Amino acid sequence: MIKNKKAKWIVRVFLLVGTIVSMFFVPWLLVKAWILPLPNTVQEQLDEAISDGFDGMIVYIDQAGKPPQYYAAGWHNRESGIPANPHALFKIASISKLYDAVAVTKLVSDGRLS
């Protein structure tokens, strides 16, 4: 009987300590993202991302049958005080290989490229 009470007490202490410790390791930013409602517009989403610490962001949306939409928030160059421009050009380095590969794969699967 004494061993059983001692074992229960040890388990309770471990559970209590585990619960308290887990409170310090909760990803609070993720919890915040799940709790807060989604922004209504793309621009609101960009402004929210800038408030989370991004320097600048540009979004280009091209939907069939609609004119392209451009959005920008933050800085193109923070040191010079140049705001983000939705029509700015950026060097995309090796990322262009990924886009090329996806485009070629889609063309091959559609039978338009062999």
Nearest-angstrom CA–CA distance, 34 and 26: 13
Confidence of residue 105 (pLDDT cuts 50, 70, 90): very high
Q: Considering the entire predicted model, what is its pTM? A: 0.50
Q: Which two tokens stand for residue 20?
A: 């308290």
Please tell me the predicted confidence (pLDDT) of residue 1: 53
Q: Which two tokens stand for residue 59?
A: 């979004």
Q: Which residues contact 90 (CB under 8 A, 6 or more apart)?
A: 58
Name the phi and psi angles at 52, rounded to 5: -85, 0
Most confident of 35-39, 60-64, 91-95: 60-64
